[in-house]
Structure 1
Amino acid sequence: MMRPKQSNKPLRRLPCAIITITTSLLGQSFTVTAADKTDLDIYYKDNITHVVSQDGAMHLKPELRIQSRVSTPYDGNPDSIAKLNGDTTSQEIKRARLKVGGNINENLKVKFEYDLVGSQLLDSRLTYKFVDEFQFRFGRMKAHYSPERVTSSKDQQLVDRSIVNDWFNIDRQQGISFLGHLNKGTWADSNYWFDIFNGTGRDGKNENDHFMYVGRYQWNFLGEQMETAMGDLKFRSKPAAHFAVSATTNTSAYTKFSTSAPGQLRDFKDKAVEGVDDQFKLKQWMVDFSYRYNGVSFQTEYHQKQVDDRVNNEITNLEGYYVQVGFFPNRYFKSMPKELELAARFANVDPNTDISDNNLKELTLGANWFFTGHRNKLTFDISRHEIDELGFDSTGSETRFRLQHDFSF
């Protein structure tokens, strides 16, 4: 039996996908003829635009996303008592993104994401699959380290990530990654990632002769790799779970990474020496566990991080964890609306394990109302932050309220 002939000019198809940014609003299906006379089907279904070649080899999903948020008395996660004293009610477009992802051909995947609020390129990566067990990725991407960070902000179970993310995440980096999926559907079902990055953040060039190394092994011991989106929106009839361990090391001028730029954690801002590109050697490891079944979800991460300040000859050890649960009450109480999910999270960060009574704590309760899954949802959460800090006689605390609408089309 002959297989359909695939085009050997996938890049010539890309210009045709550009027109879908506007046609996605029409909700119609039609055909466009590309320069190499390969027909493309463009249709809109389930809040997603699809661009598919007639032979099925190419399937791209361009989309726009808008995240609107109201918060009071502050928005982000405070890392000091001074930042607890917010008194502002803020209304803002928190995130607006242009994304294109999917397959160029059977073995080549692409992901592109641009931040329209900050006018910056977030993701630009290609993944080539030799076989399921061995794939190669290069470009600008999220380091596959912490599941909470890898999960899109669109797919979070609460309004945003926990306080743990601010202190331990590796964020986006530039470099290469080797990854694979082993023993699918068996008790030994597992994934691995090994990354080599510049180690200077989203768009940074390598500033010294060191690289960032990141490794992760994930055991899907019930035979299924779960999607990165949080919660059990599939209402699984069979449970799914994973246990994973990750580690990373890096030598650079930074102790913290974020989407905006690399920088310093709270206790290192006064210690960083300008012009020294290898002052801090970071060693980190973490374990995480996730479980989903019949609308119930549970996930937790435990982190340790060591910062070796090679200029001031100081070593600081940090520790943090969070526990998060969610469930759809309709699965157990039929009188409750099926669109409603309830969630809760507790998180703790110890920024220096050699000092007592200096922890940061977060307790967050929230609710989601899903119009179309994570692609169109309303989220409300209440957080209680408590901070112990050197130089203060008492614990600082404050309650934060946030309401958010996230819409992708």
Structure 2
Amino acid sequence: MKYFLIIYLAFASVAQAQATDSILAKEIQNKISAMPYYSYGKGIGITSPDSLYQMNIRFRMQSRITALGKNDETVYKATVRRLRLRFDGFVSDPKFQYVIQLSFPHEDMGTTKNNIDPNVVRDAMFFYLPNRHWQIGVGQTKLPGNRQLINSSGGLQLTDRSINNSTFNIDRDFGVQVYYLARKKQGFDYNIKTAISTGEGRNFLHESDNALAYTARLELFPLGAFSRDGAFYEGDLAREISPKVMLSGSYQYNQDALRSNGQRGDLLDNAQDIRSLFLDAIAKYQGWALMLAYMQKDSENQIPATFSNPKDLKYVFTGYGIDSQLSYLFRNNFEIIGRYSHQNPTKDVWVLNPKQNQFSLGVTKYISEHAFKLQTEITKTYAEYFNGTSEDTWFIRFQIELGI
């Protein structure tokens, strides 16, 4: 009887320990199942345990040192050109997606009113994706304009976009965008992108009007889609094994625009209709990349025949610009890039802005594609003024691009 009692107590202790371990294991399992899931790829991804929401976090920064030459004088500048924080993901269902992007350096934010208010919010968009072809967005983001603008500034081969992009592009705006993406697996592919927006740019703080801007873009891929979305960044990092070509065009009618560049620029004294046209072509094959672009802006400018101070005039820059860019990516991930840009204002605007020809030569070392790269660039600009005078300027720049 004594030994039986001892054996009974021993088995009871083991059973109790096993039950305790089972309860503890279940509690641990419950805690684990309540924790979010993390993923790593382009940024850091967080998914809720019930898969009802997902958020991806990314950042990127551009730090640069520049030497600028003008009138036999050299000026040196060191700055953080861009510092961006981006969040994207979905809520409730992968069909309901969002994108948020913030910018922080003063040179990146710009100003919105009296040089005081920082322009932190770049993108704040809600997207509804009913299927793989349609995409409907509401909020503030880039309009479907010229190719170089649609490319992220982090996906550029040179340290910045061309002089024509800064003059003619239609930038960001608040509105509704509807895209149809054919997404064909083989052969001819195409995208149709449209937008109806306020026409006054991002974070506009002044009194608005009832007029709108209408934008449409058509993208054609006659030889099929690019590998790894290669149409949306510069250079042939994918080393296309067969030739790839994109032909595209955009048009915007900005009715009663309040700003000199439509979505950007100074406030106009009188609202004006602005019409913008963009034509682009990209070709990539085995490390070679060629890009051609034509940009044009038209408006009924009312520039007086005589004026005392050009800085006091508020007008729309009308005219056209041409960009051409050629590059080759070596097997060691060094790339050589050359770009030529020509900018030609209309006769009445030429009185206030010179005709320009710009030549750029760059060398880029890709360490982790566009996410981590070292860039050097030398650029020279020739300006021809209406009165017959001319001016030459140049800059040499080194830039580090880093992001996740």
TM-score of the pair, normalised by structure 2: 0.78
Amino acid at match of 2:178: F
Using the aligned pairs only, state the percent identity: 20
Shift of 1:344: 0.8
Shift of 1:106: 2.5
Match of residue 20 from structure 2: none
Whole-angstrom distance in 2 between the partners of 1:189 and 1:140: 27
**1:60 maps onto 2:55 in alignment:** yes
**1:287 maps onto 2:271 in alignment:** no
Whole-angstrom distance in 1 between the partners of 2:304 and 2:144: 31
Whole-angstrom distance in 1 between the partners of 2:63 and 2:73: 20
Whole-angstrom distance in 2 between the partners of 1:112 and 1:297: 31
CA 346–50 in structure 1, closer or farther in 2 if over 3 Å, else same: same
**1:89 maps onto 2:91 in alignment:** no
Match of residue 24 from structure 1: none
Shift of 1:362: 0.8
Match of residue 263 from structure 1: 265
8 A contact 1:149–1:165 mirrored in 2: yes
> Where is the helix percentage greater, Structure 1 or Structure 2?
2
Partner secondary structure for residue 199 of structure 1: coil
Match of residue 294 from structure 2: 302
Match of residue 340 from structure 2: 346
Q: Deviations over 1:278-324 (max 9, x none)?
A: 2x210111211011121111111111210223696999740111001
CA 197–403 in structure 1, closer or farther in 2 if over 3 Å, else same: same
Tell me how large the CA RMSD over aligned residues is. Answer: 2.9
Whole-angstrom distance in 1 between the partners of 2:195 and 2:216: 6
Shift of 1:101: 2.1
Partner secondary structure for residue 261 of structure 2: coil
Shift of 1:114: 0.6
8 A contact 2:59–2:86 mirrored in 1: yes
Whole-angstrom distance in 2 between the partners of 1:85 and 1:124: 44
CA 364–212 in structure 1, closer or farther in 2 if over 3 Å, else same: same
Where structure 2 has 5 or more consecutive residues not aligned to the other structure, the ranges are: 1-28, 107-117, 306-314
**Matched ranges for 1:313-328 at <5 A:** 317-328=318-329
Higher mean Cα deviation, 183-192 or 311-320? 311-320
**Matched ranges for 1:108-187 at <5 A:** 108-118=96-106, 120-182=120-182, 184-187=184-187
Higher mean Cα deviation, 191-200 or 237-246? 237-246
**1:389 maps onto 2:393 in alignment:** no
Structure number with larger C-alpha Rg: 2
Shift of 1:39: 4.3
Whole-angstrom distance in 1 between the partners of 2:164 and 2:316: 20
8 A contact 1:132–1:180 mirrored in 2: no
Match of residue 26 from structure 2: none
Shift of 1:55: 7.1
Match of residue 249 from structure 1: 253
Match of residue 19 from structure 1: none
CA 319–184 in structure 1, closer or farther in 2 if over 3 Å, else same: same
8 A contact 1:245–1:287 mirrored in 2: yes
CA 38–218 in structure 1, closer or farther in 2 if over 3 Å, else same: farther
Partner secondary structure for residue 149 of structure 1: helix
Whole-angstrom distance in 1 between the partners of 2:316 and 2:364: 42
CA 148–38 in structure 1, closer or farther in 2 if over 3 Å, else same: farther
Partner secondary structure for residue 164 of structure 1: helix
Match of residue 220 from structure 2: 219
Match of residue 101 from structure 1: 88
Whole-angstrom distance in 2 between the partners of 1:305 and 1:311: 16
8 A contact 1:317–1:353 mirrored in 2: no
Amino acid at match of 1:347: S
Amino acid at match of 2:89: G
Partner secondary structure for residue 166 of structure 1: helix
Shift of 1:394: 3.0
Match of residue 400 from structure 1: 395
Shift of 1:40: 2.2
Q: Deviations over 1:344-383 (max 9, x none)?
A: 1100111115769942111100011111111111100000
Shift of 1:132: 2.8
TM-score of the pair, normalised by structure 1: 0.77
Shift of 1:59: 4.7
**1:40 maps onto 2:23 in alignment:** no
Q: Deviations over 1:81-129 (max 9, x none)?
A: xx87763200111111111123443212221111122351111111111
CA 368–103 in structure 1, closer or farther in 2 if over 3 Å, else same: farther
Q: Deviations over 1:154-201 (max 9, x none)?
A: 111100000011111001101110101126134441001110111111
Whole-angstrom distance in 2 between the partners of 1:32 and 1:42: 17
Higher mean Cα deviation, 119-128 or 220-229? 220-229
8 A contact 1:281–1:309 mirrored in 2: no
Where structure 1 has 5 or more consecutive residues not aligned to the other structure, the ranges are: 1-30, 75-82, 331-337
Whole-angstrom distance in 2 between the partners of 1:185 and 1:352: 44
Shift of 1:399: 1.9
Whole-angstrom distance in 1 between the partners of 2:196 and 2:304: 28
